């Protein structure tokens, strides 16, 4: 399973690759009619398909076989997006590769980035899913901090750098659904940390050194896998 394709256009025994997926199949990999490819729908299904028709804009296939894969990702990570777009996109790609159920771009009092190109980001996510041979495409959402801390999760953690708030290293739990909050470069405000604690969050200790947002997110997600 060297290459995976992605589509949401699945109807009965047929599916269609469109746009970039069709270009990648026909022009980059130079697949031909009659060849077998494997495609995911981002919802756990893996399809073995035979190519029936193809051009630069679409590849029409017949589904020969399918497998359903249970979701193994149970962690939602909420991050304050970095001001630098390249750093943000790199971080998102790594979070997808490690394994995240949902990714929330969180607006906090110290968040530097006001706008995010969600279409571009979603393409990066799909690419990372295929690269890491996963079967689920994580949802990416934009939310304010005050709305994020009200979300219902079995385990909730907030990473912060304050000595006057409790924090521990966290415990990996592969059963419960978990939420991890990662703040901006200037950290969460003390009021935000207190508000999170009031809603049942626990402090998360990521070590003795100050980490960039993208590094903190990767360390935190890796620890809870």
111-166 pLDDT tens trace: 887 678 899 999 999 999 999 999 999 999 999 999 999 999 999 999 998 888 88
Same domain, 55 and 118: no
Same domain, 31 and 63: yes
What is the three-class DSSP state of 195? helix
* Residue 180 belongs to domain with CATH number: 3.40.1280.10
65-74 pLDDT tens trace: 999 999 888 8
Tell which of 68, 87, 104 closes a domain: 68
| 8 A C-beta contact, residue 167 and residue 207 | no
Same domain, 79 and 64: no
Total domain count, the chain: 2
14-26 pLDDT tens trace: 999 999 999 999 9
Burial of 45 (C-beta count, 10 Å sphere; 0-12/13-18/19+): middle
Burial of 108 (C-beta count, 10 Å sphere; 0-12/13-18/19+): buried
Same domain, 62 and 86: no
pLDDT at 5 exceeding the cut of 90 = yes
pLDDT at 80 (0 to 100): 92
pLDDT at 170 (0 to 100): 66
179, β-bridge pairs? 76, 156
Q: Please give the Cα distance from 58 to 60 (Å, whole number).
A: 6
- 210 is in which domain, residue-wise? 75-223
pLDDT at 111 (0 to 100): 87
Token reading at 220 = 């935190």
31-86 pLDDT tens trace: 999 999 999 999 999 999 999 999 888 999 999 999 999 988 889 999 999 888 89
pLDDT at 171 (0 to 100): 63
pTM for the model stands at: 0.88
- Tell me the pLDDT band of 177, cut-offs 50, 70 and 90: confident
Same domain, 83 and 159: yes
- CA separation, residue 54 to residues 49, 188, 203 (Å): 13, 51, 53
What is the three-class DSSP state of 19? helix
Same domain, 55 and 79: no
Neighbour count for residue 140 (Cβ, 10 Å): 19
């Amino acid at each position: 399973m060297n290459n995976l394709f992605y589509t949401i256009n699945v109807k009965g025994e047929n599916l269609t690759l469109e746009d970039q997926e069709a270009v990648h199949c026909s022009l980059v990999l130079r697949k031909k009619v009659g060849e077998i490819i494997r495609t995911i729908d981002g919802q756990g299904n893996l399809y073995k398909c035979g190519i029936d028709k193809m051009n630069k804009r679409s590849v029409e296939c017949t589904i020969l076989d399918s497998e359903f894969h249970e979701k193994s990702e149970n962690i939602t990570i909420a991050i304050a997006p970095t001001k630098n777009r390249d750093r943000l996109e790199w971080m998102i790609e790594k979070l997808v590769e490690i394994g995240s159920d949902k990714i929330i771009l969180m607006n906090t009092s110290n968040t530097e980035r006001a706008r995010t190109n969600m279409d571009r980001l979603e393409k990066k996510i799909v690419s990372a899913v295929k690269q890491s041979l996963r079967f689920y495409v994580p949802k990416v959402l934009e939310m304010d901090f005050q709305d994020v801390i009200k979300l219902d999760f079995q385990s909730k953690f907030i990473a912060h750098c304050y000595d006057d708030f409790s924090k521990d290293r966290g415990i990996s739990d592969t059963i419960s659904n978990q939420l991890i909050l990662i703040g901006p470069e200037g950290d969460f405000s003390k009021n935000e940390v207190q508000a999170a604690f009031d809603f049942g969050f626990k402090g998360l200790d990521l070590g003795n050194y100050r980490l960039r947002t993208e590094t903190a997110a990767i360390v935190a997600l890796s620890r809870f896998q």
